[in-house]
């Protein structure tokens, strides 16, 4: 827990120093001051994996991972109903079909029993999401994946330094994906990293993310072709299809500075959550996301469920703001209820020739049902935890306490 009353800076002084190093070095085609390499090496090591591939965002990460495993036309990938569209978007980018599984009623992470029901001979991967900063129940997922030879990509965009039964979140799947988007525990504005311990998979992901350059390896900082080769007119540059998902060196410099204080950034969120938790413990109609005993929650958000029918989500938010609260978010629509899916289902039905990769098997997502999450989702309150000043976090908890009093 942070107890200091001095605010911590929004951007770490180290990030500023590393950015200046990049600017002083200048931008060159075949060399760099090594920020990307350091970020990839240190991030992977911190999260218990051998290789890091830093890319433009935490959606590109998952797309690259799916490509690395040759997932594409005809394949299905299981994702949870409670996630950001990006998780499913990566599957669509890979030309595969997102299959949506329901969540556990208490932890709101993917429900293994529903996953079991949704596995088919075409299931090639599963993307468990550490939603709000809490690990899914990984052991049964890993076991099922091993039985069916499925790739496991942990989507940890919202979870840095969470723990599951003593293991750091990010060390369990074949790949783990993180986002450095502006709302995340550590940020460089936009960016992401994929980590992995299998050298062949990591190399393939690297090539998928950097134009399929023939010389690339899984080693840190590999995004360019050596000058002696690239100037040669007979050099065969591209041996596989890859996107251009590179993370700029200057963004890597910011991310490296933030990584070096990641413990502090996570503790800050956990401290804010602890203040909210004290208040919520005394309330019997706001039920927090359940953290099982041997898990450590990293609290990207402190999320609670309204259980009273006579307390309206919008009225609660209005009162919270009136009493000095900073607002809160609702949960995203169940991912299969985002209009993009019904629109896509319609377009595939009317223009099947444009979607040969779905082979007539894309579901009509209006018929997909995840009753647990559909019931809970409208009642979720996602409180912010990114207060860089402990005193501000305390005030927010106080405003929440007064809001609860008002409705009690």
Interface contacts to ligand PLP, rule CB under 6 A? 57-59, 83-84, 86-87, 129, 155, 157-158, 179, 181, 192
Angle at 77 between CA 159 and CA 138, to 5 degrees: 40
Nearer residue to ligand PLP within complex by CB, 68 or 316: 68
Kindly state the smallest distance separating residue 219's Cβ from ligand PLP, in Å. 24
Kindly state the smallest distance separating residue 48's Cβ from ligand PLP, in Å. 20
Separation between Cα atoms, residue 329 and residue 327, nearest integer Å: 7
Nearer residue to ligand PLP within complex by CB, 84 or 208: 84
Kindly state the smallest distance separating residue 174's Cβ from ligand PLP, in Å. 17
Separation between Cα atoms, residue 250 and residue 385, nearest integer Å: 27
Yes or no: say if 206 and 44 are a contact pair by the CB < 8 Å rule.
no
Separation between Cα atoms, residue 328 and residue 317, nearest integer Å: 7
Kindly state the smallest distance separating residue 296's Cβ from ligand PLP, in Å. 18
DSSP-derived secondary structure letter, 307: -
Q: Give the three-state DSSP class for 14.
A: helix
Kindly state the smallest distance separating residue 158's Cβ from ligand PLP, in Å. 5
Separation between Cα atoms, residue 17 and residue 305, nearest integer Å: 42
Nearer residue to ligand PLP within complex by CB, 109 or 403: 109
Separation between Cα atoms, residue 224 and residue 241, nearest integer Å: 16
The residues, ordered by sequence, that sit 6+ positions from 318 with a Cβ below 8 Å of its Cβ are none
Q: State which residue has the least CB distance to ligand PLP.
A: 58
Nearer residue to ligand PLP within complex by CB, 2 or 196: 196
Separation between Cα atoms, residue 253 and residue 21, nearest integer Å: 8
Q: Which residues pair with 77 in a beta bridge?
A: 98, 125
Nearer residue to ligand PLP within complex by CB, 127 or 404: 127
The token pair at 364 is 């009509």
Kindly state the smallest distance separating residue 183's Cβ from ligand PLP, in Å. 7
Nearer residue to ligand PLP within complex by CB, 76 or 155: 155
């Amino acid at each position: 827990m942070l107890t200091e009353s001095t605010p911590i800076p929004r951007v770490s002084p180290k990030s500023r120093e590393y950015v200046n190093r990049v600017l002083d070095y200048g931008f060159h085609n075949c060399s760099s001051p090594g920020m990307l390499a350091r970020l990839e090496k240190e991030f992977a090591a911190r999260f218990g994996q051998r290789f890091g591939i830093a890319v433009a965002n935490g959606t590109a990460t998952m797309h690259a991972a799916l490509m690395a495993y040759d997932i594409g036309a005809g394949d299905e990938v299981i994702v949870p109903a409670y996630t950001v569209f990006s998780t499913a978007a990566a599957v669509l980018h890979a030309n595969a079909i997102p299959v949506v599984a329901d969540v556990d009623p208490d932890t709101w992470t993917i429900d293994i029993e529903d996953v079991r029901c949704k596995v088919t001979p075409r299931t090639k991967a599963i993307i468990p999401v550490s939603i709000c900063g809490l690990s899914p129940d990984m052991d049964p997922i890993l076991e099922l994946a091993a039985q069916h030879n499925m790739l496991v990509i942990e989507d940890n965009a919202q979870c840095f330094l969470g723990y599951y039964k003593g293991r750091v979140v990010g060390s369990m799947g074949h790949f783990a994906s993180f986002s450095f988007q502006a709302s995340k525990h550590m940020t460089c504005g936009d960016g992401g990293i994929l980590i992995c311990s299998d050298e062949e998979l990591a190399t393939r992901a690297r090539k998928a993310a950097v134009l399929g350059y023939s010389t690339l390896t899984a080693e840190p900082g590999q995004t360019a072709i050596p000058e002696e080769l690239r100037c040669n007119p007979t050099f065969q540059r591209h041996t596989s299809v890859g996107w251009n998902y590179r993370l700029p060196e200057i963004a890597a410099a910011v991310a490296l500075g933030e990584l070096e204080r990641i413990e502090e950034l996570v503790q800050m969120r956990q401290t804010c959550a602890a203040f909210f938790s004290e208040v919520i413990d005394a309330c019997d109609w706001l039920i927090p996301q359940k953290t099982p005993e041997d898990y450590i929650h990293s609290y990207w958000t402190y999320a609670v469920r309204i259980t009273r029918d006579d307390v309206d989500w919008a009225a609660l938010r209005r009162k919270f703001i009136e009493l000095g609260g900073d607002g809160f978010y609702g949960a995203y629509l169940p991912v299969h209820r985002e209009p993009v899916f019904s629109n896509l289902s319609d377009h595939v039905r009317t223009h099947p020739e444009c979607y040969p990769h779905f082979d007539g098997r894309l579901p009509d997502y209006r018929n997909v049902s995840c009753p647990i999450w559909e019931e809970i989702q409208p009642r979720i309150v996602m409180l912010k935890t990114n207060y860089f000043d402990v005193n501000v976090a305390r005030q927010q908890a106080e405003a929440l306490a007064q809001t609860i009093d008002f409705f009690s």
